[in-house]
């Protein structure tokens, strides 16, 4: 894989946490590459390091050792303020329980990331309405989360993730709170984002059906990559 084709490079990454007087190793010399426009699922037992790895790739945490490079930028060497700016422009986050503000409409929830960017109100409106149209919720702009189904709330969450046009979408158990039909629709939507908007997508999941929808399944155990399989 040439450098131009790489979206994510994780190089010999270690991550440790201190628990009282004990040091707990979560990731142990892990290496991973993800290509541009690839859809990758991270699987493994609880405590295997899946979410820790996702957080490192998304710039929410820093490795104890090693490098994390996203689209040629060494994010493991950035300051907190640099990371905050980088995340806003580069990463779209999708959460298991949606993380929507209940007092805000779908429109206002999706608009939130844009408030961190130097955009006019008309530019924000155009991007919000486009994002909600992409996820099929143009008729729910003014509905609050409590007026939406779980699947619709996750669609709002995905619209919020793509509203800044990020290169990389990271999702932690994006179908974990949904019924089978809604989960299938969300996985179809993620696939469409990869195919039509050229997004790179990395999901953490416990669901083999969700993992199988990815181009590649990456399995972790005890902080190390144990297998990688094409979907």
Q: What is the pLDDT along the chain (231 residues), one digit of tens a residue?
A: 666 689 999 999 999 988 888 888 899 999 999 999 999 999 999 889 999 999 999 999 999 999 999 999 999 999 999 999 999 999 999 999 999 999 999 999 999 999 989 999 999 999 999 999 999 999 999 999 999 999 999 999 999 999 999 999 999 999 999 999 999 999 999 999 999 999 999 999 999 999 999 999 999 998 899 877 776
Domains present along the chain, CATH in parentheses: 3-230 (3.40.50.300)
User: Are 15 and 211 in contact, with CB atoms under 8 Å apart?
Assistant: no
As a whole number of angstroms, the distance between CA 106 and CA 92 comes to 17
pTM, two decimal places: 0.93
Coil, strand or helix: which one is 3? helix
As a whole number of angstroms, the distance between CA 40 and CA 62 comes to 21
Number of helical H runs and strand E runs in the chain = 7, 10
Of 203, 141, 215, 136, nearest to 175 (Cα)?
203
Phi-psi region of 6 (alpha: psi -120 to 50; beta: other; left: phi over 0): beta
């Amino acid at each position: 894989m040439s450098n131009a084709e790489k979206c994510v490079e994780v190089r010999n990454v270690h991550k440790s946490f201190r628990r009282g007087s004990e040091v707990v190793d979560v990731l142990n010399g892990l290496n991973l590459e993800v290509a541009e426009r690839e859809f990758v699922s991270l699987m493994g037992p609880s405590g295997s390091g899946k979410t820790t790895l996702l957080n490192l790739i998304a710039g929410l945490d820093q490795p104890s050792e090693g490098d994390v490079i996203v689209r040629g930028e060494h994010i493991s060497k950035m300051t907190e303020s640099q990371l905050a700016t980088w995340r806003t422009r580069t990463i779209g986050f999708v959460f298991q329980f949606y993380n929507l503000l209940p007092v805000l409409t779908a429109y206002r929830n999706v608009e939130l990331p844009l408030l961190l960017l130097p955009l006019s109100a008309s530019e924000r409106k155009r991007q919000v309405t486009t994002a909600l149209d992409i996820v099929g919720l143009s008729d729910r702009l003014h509905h609050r989360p409590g007026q939406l189904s779980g699947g619709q709330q996750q669609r709002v969450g995905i619209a919020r993730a793509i509203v800044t046009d990020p290169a990389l979408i990271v999702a932690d158990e994006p179908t974990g709170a949904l019924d089978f039909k809604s989960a299938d629709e969300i996985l179809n939507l993620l696939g469409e984002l990869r195919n039509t908007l050229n997004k790179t997508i990395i999901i953490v999941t416990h669901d083999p059906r969700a993992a199988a929808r990815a181009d590649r399944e990456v399995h972790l155990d005890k902080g190390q990559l144990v297998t990688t399989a094409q979907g």
